[in-house]
Structure 1
Amino acid sequence: MSTYQTLTVEMSGRVAIVTFRRADQLNAMNRLMQGEITAAFEALSEDESVGAIVVTGEGRGFMAGADIKEYAAQTAPEFDSFQAAGTRMYAAIENNRKPVIAAVNGFALGGGMELVLCCDIVIANQFAKLGLPEIKLGLVPGGGGTQRSVAKLGRNRANMLLMTGAIVPASEFVDAGLVNEIVDVEHLMPRALELAAMIAAEPPTAIEGLKRLTAHATAGDLAGGLAMERDILGGLYRSEIGQRRVREFAEKSAERARKAKP
């Protein structure tokens, strides 16, 4: 496992835990951290020993967006390069072959919320807050925040968030479907790890197939999604593990039926 300066990657069984470690900066993302997040997630995507990923931050912040001190000092070409590298970083999370669970432990603002929008499941503690406050700097989100917030929240709700720059308790995103669960602080990581271990125990090819299918569903291409669903299901049904599990289920069902007969 590689060594990083701004984050750590640890294993718990088949679950990889990525922790941002710039607590003194509320885990604000500088160029080094951006590159290390990309490298870590790209490596985890190809690591067959990993079944799921949990991402969180140390201290009071999940990720408080970009490091504004560094941001302000960038030249125009450096700014463009940072944004282009950000596109690759978010893709490494959103398109990861492994399910990514965000354990939101505090502020997830700007680029931090954009990272949350890339995750497959989101668990937050009762103090976590999310927002896209770029409008306060006279800017708009540049890491997919405008597009993914509409896809996951709906246009009007996204407009309210984007146009006011409001910082909102994570609990307000539960009904919208962005946040799956709110848990007490002490239960945040145990719950995230519990879910990740549960998912990691399932057949990797089936989990990867589900990720692809649900991602495709957001594009609104029903016919294409149904065709993809049939193709993936057919491959899984024909696989060794699919055949074994179907056969075992059928045998157990038949056994229950025999026992139920008077």
Structure 2
Amino acid sequence: MTAVPLVPLVLEGDLGPDTVLLTTYIQEGEERLAALPPAPDRTPADRNRAAAVHAAARRARRAFLARHTETVYGLLTDGLTRSVRLPDLVYQAADRFPGLVPTRDQMAAERALVQAHKEGREIDQGLFCGAVLRSPTAGRHLVETMLRPTPRALALLDAFRADGRAELDTVLVTRRGTAAHVEFRNTGRLNAEDERLIGDLDTAVDLALLDDAVTVGVLRGGTVDHPKYQGRRVFSAGIDLTDLRDGRIPFVEFLLGRELGYLHKILRGLLTDPEPGGWTERATSKPWIGAVDTFAIGGGMQLLLVLDHVIAGRNAYVSLPAAEEGIVPGLGNLRLTRHTGARLARQVVLGGRRIAATDPEARLVCDEIVPAHGVDEAVDRAVRTLSAPAVAANRHMLTVAEEPLDLFRAYLAEFAVAQAERAYAPDVLAKVERRWRERERRRAVERSGS
């Protein structure tokens, strides 16, 4: 039996009545979803029915947001007088405008499932975030909110200033002289990006930027436990695809949070003064150095694109395997072109080209290529160079010229929608499932041989 499709929602134009209409419309769609079996048990016909419900609901949400985004954001932030961080913003929107975005309970239910068994409610979060970022007024306010120090960093700041050390779950921050050394320690996973590492890096970058004794930040991978790279430093293996398969890569906190959080803070600086004025009066910005001993893949390479000086060991390589993974590599598409030019950027992003440190093109993303034993010395030398008083001011002006805030905001508005959709695309789900099964087979073989 074929279900009668949801007719398109017709809005009136006023926020109050339109909110009621949207809530009623979304509720009808939820009732239809609830009448279907759980996602893993659905027949092809069931899946088509669910897809039709979600498509109708998303058309309704887009229509509502096209009319009311700035008013909604203004109400959620008391007329732009409150800074509401993105995770809180989406849930406050769910409470105040029922049906506009998923509720906490709905997202908690999703979080318990592997990616392929979810309803894909993060796509609805992406629509909302994209609409907010698309607005010059609301989007800029949100971007600035996410550039402010995290509560966790503020709680740890006094101890870090006193001790020069902060040991987080997956990151170690130590102050040596005037440099804050941020070492990735997600050792069992080749320093891959997971939810813990993203949160720890946001805190670590805040600490380095807030500590007045620090003039330069240094990012480097710690030694790892992987049999192939045992005892060697690895910068980053990129996003943890096992976590993506298992549904543990949250869209708002991770995929958007890393772009609006520590990556953007490294590039543009930490907003420490909310009062109006020039950016140099309101923000704290410092130069950053990256040291790649072995490889920087995916998100690791994206991180290199916001740094001021990149050192690579002679046997190292970088890659941005977006085509292989099937998702969008953050702001890599925007920033890589600036570094390498359009042709090479397409070869890397679309064709999966790997750049070895010995390739001539490596000079477009790395400043120094040194022997493996020379990385420490190169880092010390770069710290001395970038500690010069005029460096911070000039790097800020370079950022203004290369990536104006509104360019960042407009790109991220498109990314929010595209990335949320790609995370649930059939090809992505098939790839991460295949990789997971291959990994499980290898582990079974290793266990049987031990």
Q: Would the TM-score normalized by the shorter structure come out above 0.5?
A: yes
Structure 1 counterpart of 2:367, one-letter code = N
Match of 1:68 in 2: 241
Residue 113 of structure 1 pairs with residue 301 of structure 2 = yes
Find the aligned partners of 2:222 and 2:248 in 1 and give their Cα distance.
Answer: 30
Structure 2 counterpart of 1:212, one-letter code = H
Gaps of 5+ in 1: 221-262
User: How well do the aligned residues superpose, as a CA RMSD in angstroms?
Assistant: 1.9
Picking from 58, 61, 64, the partner of 2:222 is: 58
Find the aligned partners of 1:173 and 1:189 in 2 and give their Cα distance.
Answer: 23
Residue 25 of structure 1, CA deviation: 1.3
Picking from 299, 324, 336, the partner of 1:136 is: 324
Picking from 14, 19, 28, the partner of 2:178 is: 14
Q: How big is each residue's C-alpha offset from its partner over 1:174-221, in whole Å with a ceiling of 9 and x where there is no partner?
A: 565321110011110221122112322x22xx222111112223259x
State the TM-score, normalizing by the size of structure 2: 0.46
Question: Any idea what SS the aligned residue of 2:167 has?
Answer: coil
- Greater length-normalized contact order (CA 8 Å, ≥ 6 residues apart): 1
Structure ranking higher in strand proportion: 1
Question: Any idea what SS the aligned residue of 1:114 has?
Answer: helix
The answer as to whether partners of 2:170 and 2:184 remain within 8 angstroms in 1 is yes
Residue 84 of structure 1 pairs with residue 272 of structure 2 = no
Residue 34 of structure 1 pairs with residue 222 of structure 2 = no
Question: Any idea what SS the aligned residue of 1:55 has?
Answer: strand
Find the aligned partners of 1:154 and 1:107 in 2 and give their Cα distance.
Answer: 22
Residue 93 of structure 1 pairs with residue 277 of structure 2 = no
Residue 98 of structure 1, CA deviation: 1.1
Structure 1 counterpart of 2:172, one-letter code = T
Give the 3 Å change call, closer, same or farther, for CA 173–93 of structure 1 in structure 2.
farther
Residue 71 of structure 1, CA deviation: 1.7
Match of 2:383 in 1: 196
The answer as to whether partners of 1:174 and 1:181 remain within 8 angstroms in 2 is no
The answer as to whether partners of 2:355 and 2:362 remain within 8 angstroms in 1 is no
The answer as to whether partners of 1:171 and 1:179 remain within 8 angstroms in 2 is no
Residue 208 of structure 1 pairs with residue 392 of structure 2 = yes
State, as a whole percentage, how many aligned pairs show the same letter: 28
Picking from 182, 188, 201, the partner of 2:369 is: 182
Residue 125 of structure 1 pairs with residue 313 of structure 2 = yes
Number of matched residues?
215
The answer as to whether partners of 2:356 and 2:362 remain within 8 angstroms in 1 is no
Q: How big is each residue's C-alpha offset from its partner over 1:26-59, in whole Å with a ceiling of 9 and x where there is no partner?
A: 1101111101101111221121100111111023
Give the 3 Å change call, closer, same or farther, for CA 173–21 of structure 1 in structure 2.
farther
Larger Rg: 2
Residue 170 of structure 1, CA deviation: 2.5
Find the aligned partners of 1:31 and 1:6 in 2 and give their Cα distance.
Answer: 10
Structure 1 counterpart of 2:256, one-letter code = A
State the TM-score, normalizing by the size of structure 1: 0.76
